[in-house]
Structure 1
Amino acid sequence: MPSEHAAGLSLDGLLESVIDIAKAADNAILAIYRRSFEVTYKDDASPLTEADLVSHQVIMDGLAKLEPAFPILSEEGAKIPWAERQQWRTFWLVDPIDGTKDFVNRSGEFTVNIALVHEGAPVLGVVTAPALDEIFAGIVGQGAWKIDTAGRRAIGVVEPRKPLRVVASKNHLNDETRAYIDQLGDHVLVQAGSSLKFCRIAEGAADHYPRLGPTCEWDIGAAQAVLEAAGGQVTTLEGAPMVYGKESVLNPYFVAKGR
């Protein structure tokens, strides 16, 4: 995909701006992570902390300053009516903290997810793991990169290993997912939290990630962009493309793969 995307903007320059915004969110999150904090719960019983809200505000403020301006859909933002959202051709998709349970448990495996969605598909993604000092970024059709204490380098998926390295959720490994994994044959489990599961495939540390459980668009959009930029793919279990900007933000069951 050329640098000038159909949306009429330079994705190269935009990616660097989004990385900077994500880093600012990381710093705000870590300031809270390193001290005591309260945990409340949403109507769906998922946890919510001050860090989720602070990260949301930092990202909203940062994205609002970018040109051209696109609407923003954030997990922690106000609910936007479908009548308005269905008009969006290009929009930002944000999860201020994916894996709040990992944040609360201080496992370190929570992420910040920022994606640019165009015509129903994520085309740019930034995933940061603040507590692990890792950043993953990608532009579909151009490449993916990892930034950590060793610097910045290009990453890519690899040929599947034997036994197959299947990445699984620490918090959501249900019976249906176990049954799916068992039918894959000889395999080893690679444990990872939040959207890092996609990123481990993108950097060649895992091969396969099935998710037979509920997720929302903001949970996976940025990481899907990173994985596809690294040469992988994310589809429904039937092999159909994942679609973004739907009336319901819930995703179908899916599988993420490397090469």
Structure 2
Amino acid sequence: MNSDKLLDIAINTAQQAGKEVMSYYRGGNFTAEMKADDSPVTSADLASNDIIMDRLKSLTPDIPIISEEVGVLPLSQRNNWQRYWLLDPIDGTGEFIIGSGDFAVNIALVENGWPTIGVIHAPDHRLTYYAQTGLGAFKDNQQASRKISVAPYREERAVKVAVSRRQELELMGQYLNKDFDFEYIALGSCSLKNCLIAEGGADCYLRIGPTGEWDTGASHCIIEQAGGRIFDAEFNPLSYNNRATLMNPDFITLGDQAFPWRKIIRPHKATRTL
């Protein structure tokens, strides 16, 4: 099956899952609990996961799947996978619970250790972001689809930093060079902040704290195809499916590579789980 067909499957599957998520969201008829890692999960997360898993297993039975909401196989059983689907059934579950609308369904295809297809569907915003290696990155608002790219560097303007509504700016600020001017833009889920950078609405995002590979896989493809990059906090590339854990280190999402990022952001020892 060619990449264009796989992209169509990923987009349609994410949108189908989004419809199911919205049935829980609009009615408020969902349950929520805390997982062992102290992150929230709802019945909407699990329903979205079921739809995505069922569709992908049916349409692409030869491609294995890694999902946040399914137990992960040991590295010895998955490290030889040439390609696999990487899922976050709802990125921004906390935003879903509080009703902000800033949540999304994330589906990525990872090939030879790198995301080559990324789809992020934000059902409450009626937006779908998608990308494919060599094709570019796009934003679809249900009326039209347009190609997107990161905002160009201009020395005279402030650097726009995407932040969480509940992020401690003091914690993040210690890694920003105060010789530069910054403008902070608050948004919900990790993937939507990355998409904001991909479409030129912000320039960078510093994620300090735990995330999984499913949090970055889809937006990683979108960012790169839009002209940006994602690194760990020491400016090393992120990796996929080559460690026992699927937890990411701290990471930074960067827009236009013409910015002097190594002067703007101070590298620091990235938190890693081995």
The equivalences for 1:1-259 within 5 A come to: 9-36=1-28, 37-67=30-60, 69-160=62-153, 162-173=157-168, 175-181=170-176, 183=178, 185-194=180-189, 195-245=191-241, 246-259=243-256
How does the TM-score come out when normalised to structure 2? 0.87
* Structure 1: gaps spanning 5 or more residues: 1-8
Cα deviation, residue 184, structure 1: 6.6
Give the deviation of 1:175 after TM superposition.
4.1
- Provide the C-alpha distance between the structure 2 equivalents of 1:184 and 1:169, rounded to a whole number of angstroms: 23
Q: Percent identity?
A: 40
Point out the more displaced range, 78-87 or 93-102. 78-87
Partner deviation per Cα, 1:192-243 (whole Å, 9 max, x = no partner): 1111011001111111111122211001110111111111111122222110
Query: How many angstroms does 1:149 deviate by?
Result: 3.9
Q: CA-atom RMSD, angstroms?
A: 1.6
Q: Which range moves more in the overlay, 147-156 or 170-179?
A: 170-179
- How far did residue 86 of structure 1 move? 1.6
Q: Which runs of 5+ in 2 are unaligned?
A: 257-274
Normalising by structure 1, we get a TM-score of 0.92
Change (3 A) 1:38 1:82: same
Residue matched to 2:261: none
Q: How many residues align?
A: 251
For 2:209 and 2:170, the matched residues in 1 are separated by 10
